[in-house]
Amino acid sequence: MLERQGRVEAALEGVLPGVEHAPSQLHSAMRYAVLGGGKRVRPLLAYAAGELVGADPRRVDLVASSVELIHAYSLVHDDLPCMDDDRLRRGKPTVHVEYDDATALLVGDSLHSLAFQVLTENALASDATRQLQMAATLARAAGSRGMAGGQAIDLQSVGKRLSVPELEFMHVHKTGALIRASVQLGAMCADSAGAVDLELLDRFGKVAGLGFQLVDDVLDAAASTATLGKTAGKDASDNKPTYVTVLGVERSRKLAIELYDEALAVLEQLPHGGGRLGDIARFIFHREF
């Protein structure tokens, strides 16, 4: 994981504009938002899925960078005063606190565009149609029927009681869509999936995405700000429905174990037991930060 985190860090460093290019302050803020922080779970999933299907890791570097750029943009916008209004992210002041609101807005916009630039101006597939499908996969995952739509539901849900299926719908979109796309895009870097059943791989991505958010809800309620590098207990103070407010900590933990078992059962059906995807699943479901 450390090797791959280092790999994506170098790839991100390579695609982000340097501060020597104008507008220097915007580029500085983009680099502040992306570099030197975060668990890089989405890139790790892309690398693991790519490895399973024999993809060229140099292609996966770019795909992993593009999903992380979308993720970083979403965090910058999510932290703005008009959304979650948070002051701490990845253990440091959020972008609008360190710079200002307008810069943070433009950082998000620019990272979003950069993600698609990376995905389209490099050869990531031997077949152009395949590469168009890759861009479409990321666009769908990030848009109103994916992450942005999930965020809209999240914002509308403040102060409301959601049922478990409603909560699941929100999380599958807000957090799950990009995680699922990370697995898909890593696998799409190979010209042929070989013996790998891509539908199974996608089922894993779906379960891992939901599990990631479920564990996030538990950690928000149970872990400290210092451990998380972001404000703990924010969901409760913002009056947001989460798995913990709907089910309680114990039932949420139990559900996480069930989802982990489901993820492992899917992986068992893949060659090499899903390879490194199993390690990442263990990390996602057992993480403490």
Enumerate binding residues for ligand GRG (CB under 6 A): 38-39, 41, 71, 74-75, 77-78, 90, 147-148, 151, 174-175, 213, 216
Return the closest-CA partner of residue 131 out of 70, 72, 62: 62
Least distance to ligand GRG, CB of residue 174, Å: 5
Q: Which is nearer to ligand GRG, 90 or 180 (CB)?
A: 90
Two tokens at 234?
């924010």
Two tokens at 235?
């969901």
Q: Which is nearer to ligand GRG, 9 or 78 (CB)?
A: 78
- Given a contact cutoff of 8 angstroms between Cβ atoms, the answer to whether 110 and 61 are in contact is no
In DSSP notation, 163-188 reads -HHHHHHHHIIIIIHHHHHHHHHHHH
Least distance to ligand GRG, CB of residue 56, Å: 25
Per residue in 89-116, is it b (16+ CB within 10 Å) or e — as a string? Answer: bbeeebbbbbbeeebbbbbbebbbebbb
- Given a contact cutoff of 8 angstroms between Cβ atoms, the answer to whether 143 and 149 are in contact is yes
- What residues pair up with 93 in beta bridges, in sequence order? 88
Q: Which is nearer to ligand GRG, 60 or 75 (CB)?
A: 75
State the residue for tokens 């979308």.
70
Least distance to ligand GRG, CB of residue 282, Å: 16
Least distance to ligand GRG, CB of residue 121, Å: 23
Q: Which is nearer to ligand GRG, 137 or 213 (CB)?
A: 213
Q: Which is nearer to ligand GRG, 125 or 152 (CB)?
A: 152
Least distance to ligand GRG, CB of residue 192, Å: 30
CB-based closest residue to ligand GRG: 38
d(CA 2, CA 15): 20
- Given a contact cutoff of 8 angstroms between Cβ atoms, the answer to whether 256 and 214 are in contact is yes
d(CA 194, CA 205): 19
Return the closest-CA partner of residue 192 out of 65, 56, 10, 36: 56
Least distance to ligand GRG, CB of residue 284, Å: 9
Q: Which is nearer to ligand GRG, 109 or 191 (CB)?
A: 109
Least distance to ligand GRG, CB of residue 274, Å: 20
Return the closest-CA partner of residue 131 out of 191, 176, 181: 191
Least distance to ligand GRG, CB of residue 63, Å: 16
- Given a contact cutoff of 8 angstroms between Cβ atoms, the answer to whether 219 and 234 are in contact is no
Q: Which is nearer to ligand GRG, 176 or 278 (CB)?
A: 176
Q: Which is nearer to ligand GRG, 147 or 244 (CB)?
A: 147
